[in-house]
Amino acid sequence: MIAEQLADIRERIAAACRRADRRPDEVTLVGAAKRQPIDKLRAARDAGLTVVGENRVQEAQQKQPEVEGLEWHLIGPLQSNKAKRAVELFSAVHSIDRVKIARALDREATGLNKRLHGFLEVNLGREESKHGFDPDSLVETARPLADLEALAIVGLMAIPPQEEDPLRTRAWFARLRELRDQLCARAEWSDCPGRLSMGMSGDFEIAIEEGATHVRVGTLLFGGRP
Q: In the chain, what percentage of residues exceed pLDDT 70? A: 99
pTM confidence score: 0.96
Instruction: Quote the number of domains for the chain.
Output: 1
Please tell me the predicted confidence (pLDDT) of residue 226.
67
Give the pairing type, strands 195-197 and 116-121: unpaired
Length of the chain: 226
Residue 100 confidence (pLDDT): 96
CATH classification at residue 174: 3.20.20.10
Residue 164 has pLDDT above 90, yes or no: no
pLDDT at 224: 80
Decide: helix, strand or coil at residue 164: coil
What are the pLDDT digits (tens) for 37-56? 999 999 999 999 999 999 99
From residue 3, how far is each of 46, 49, 224 by CA, in Å? 8, 9, 16
**Measured at the alpha carbon of residue 28, what is the angle toward residues 27 and 31, in degrees to the nearest 5?**
140
Q: What is the largest CA-CA distance in the chain?
A: 48
Question: Average pLDDT, whole number, for the chain?
Answer: 96
Segment 43-92, tens digit of pLDDT: 999 999 999 999 999 999 999 999 999 999 999 999 999 999 999 999 99
Domain that holds residue 124: 2-222
Q: Summarize pLDDT for 167-178 with one digit per residue, the tens.
A: 789 999 999 999
